[in-house]
Amino acid sequence: MKYNELQATPNKDRKRVGRGISAGGGKTAGRGTKGQGSRTGKKLHAMFQGGQNGLRNAIPKSRGFKSLRTPAQVVYLDRLDELKGTVDNFALFEAGLIATPFHNVKVISRGELSAKLTLKVQGASKSVVEAVKKAGGTFEKTPTPLPKSTKEAEAADKK
């Protein structure tokens, strides 16, 4: 084994400054002498340049609007032929058609639907609703399912 291959982590405490000369970080405690940086309560933001707005004005402003809403997960109509019975977020997740069952799902028209099924998701285009009814199924708009908390899951396991 070589010295540089050791997996040991250092057990060194942080240096406590301002505890006297013999402690190694006394007098100015690493703050230098005089000036704003040496004073207590120094609060300067990252863009501060001594009162001039050079860097702040040099960076272009971000224009427009950025939505914080997560977009719906899209499932195409022709992929629903593989499924049977009631199709909800969990059935789509198990089939690998969506990434998570706890986000909005919208079904969009593409191809044909031949299977009779009950579609229970957060959204569907008008043409999808018509195609599902034409195939003999039904569409029901449901709220987005919420993940169960660990406390709820433990309580359900105990019963």
Structural domain spans, the chain: 73-141
For residue 56, is pLDDT > 90? no
User: In the prediction, which pLDDT does 86 show?
Assistant: 93
The confidence score (pLDDT) of residue 97 equals 94
Name the region of 3 (left: φ>0; alpha: ψ -120 to 50; beta: rest).
Answer: alpha
- Contact assessment for residue 120 and residue 88, using Cβ atoms and an 8 Å cutoff: yes
Sign of CA dihedral 131, 115, 147, 156: positive
Which fold does the domain 73-141 belong to in CATH? Ribosomal Protein L15; Chain: K; domain 2 (3.100.10)
Instruction: Give the pTM.
Output: 0.58
Does residue 36 contact residue 44 with C-beta atoms inside 8 Å? yes
Task: List pLDDT tens digits, range 77-128.
Answer: 999 988 889 999 999 999 999 999 999 999 999 989 988 999 999 999 999 9
What is the model's pLDDT at position 37? 83
CA distance 153 to 157: 6
pLDDT digits (tens, 9 = 90+) for 114-156: 889 999 999 999 999 999 999 999 999 999 999 988 887 777 7
* Mean pLDDT of all residues in 18-32: 89
pLDDT band at 38 (very low <50, low <70, confident <90, very high): confident
What gap in Å lies between CA 73 and CA 66, rounded to an integer? 19
Q: Token pair 């230098």 is at which residue?
A: 32
